[in-house]
Amino acid sequence: MNGLFSARRWSVTLADSAALWQGFFFTLQVSLAGLAVALVVGTIFGTFSTTRSRILRGIARVYVEIYQNTPVVVQVFFMYTAGPQVIKAITGAQTITRIAPFVLGVVGVGLYHAAYVAEVIRTGIEAIPRGQMEAAQSQGFSRVQAYRYIILPQTLRIILPPLANQALNLVKNTSVLALIAGGDLMYYLQGYILCCVMYFIICFPLAMLVSWLERRAKEPGGRAGGARGEKDAGGAGAAPGTTKGEVA
């Protein structure tokens, strides 16, 4: 703990805080772009694993298992080390181009959390009783329309809390980039403390959002899931318990 209260070290660190804030905004950008990747890819694989096609279900399963059971650190380092060489081998370029940290962060963290998002989406869709789809089809909805207008809106209220939780974990995991880029700002403990504060600024509102969404999802017949007397949807609201196992 030496020098924690040293005025000099605090003043040096605070004088450098512009660079820390720069990192703060970089983290914010990587997180937002990574979240977009995770949501898009995750939704695709999540819906894949609820379709009737064996092949699509298999693809989704393999993706989820591989990404959930290996560390994001290894995944990002793999892209960092092997990525440029693979690109070189494929395109036949003469020189090796390095992948920018921003891209590494967005793709690495995005694809990793996409696997978790996919599982959240899958449990959300499976929580909707089968009868809903049959009823929709009997009313002349196509499968795609039934998903769009009947299934997904109900799913939303179940999946929002775990999704927000994934967003929070995603922000934390962007720190994997520090292993690659190296933190030049970290002379003193003070730098770490400021860094903690900055992450906290991003993550604490997200954590509050998670608990608010959880509370709302528990209310029977809430506003999120459409208005038509969904006592069973309220009961299925207990289903997030099944996704709780996927806290990253």
Partner 1 sequence: MEIFTADNVTFMLQGLVNTIVIAAASIVLSILVGTVLALVKTYCTGKLRPLAWLVSAYIELFRCTPNLLWILIFRFTLKGSGVAISIAVFTTFTSAVMAEIVRGGLNAIPRGQFEAARSQGFGFFGMMWHIVLPQAFRHIVPALFSQCTTVIKDTSYLRGIDVHEFMRNSAVVMGQAVTLPQILLLYGFVFLTYFVLNFCISLAVRAYQRRLVAA
| DSSP H or E segment with residue 241 | helix 240-243
Residue 238 DSSP one-character state? T
244 binds partner 1 (CB under 8 A): yes
Interaction between residue 145 and partner 1 (CB under 8 A): no
Contact 233, 154 (CB under 8 A): yes
Phi/psi region, residue 99 (left: phi>0; alpha: psi -120 to 50; beta: rest), is: beta
Among 203, 216, 221, 226, binds partner 1 (CB under 8 A): 203
Tokens of 234: 């309220």
State the binding string over 159-198 for partner 1 (x if CB under 8 A, else -): ---------x---xxxxx-xx------x--x--xx-xx--
What distance in Å separates the CA atoms of residue 46 and residue 42, rounded to the nearest whole number? 6
The verdict on 9 binding partner 1 (CB under 8 A) reads: no
* Candidate segments 69-77, 120-128, 138-146, 219-227, binder of partner 1 by CB under 8 A: 69-77
Nearer to partner 1, 29 or 137 (CB): 29
> Please, what's the b/e burial string for 63-98 (b: 16 or more CB within 10 A of its CB; e: otherwise)?
bbeebeeeebeebbbebbeebbeeeeeeeeeeeeee
User: Is residue 1 at the binding interface for partner 1, with CB under 8 A as the rule?
Assistant: yes
Q: Which of residues 37-66 bind partner 1 (CB under 8 A)?
A: 65-66
Q: Which residues bind partner 1 (CB under 8 A)?
A: 1, 65-66, 68-74, 77-78, 81-82, 85-86, 89, 168, 172-176, 178-179, 186, 189, 192-193, 195-196, 199-200, 203-204, 206-207, 241, 244-248
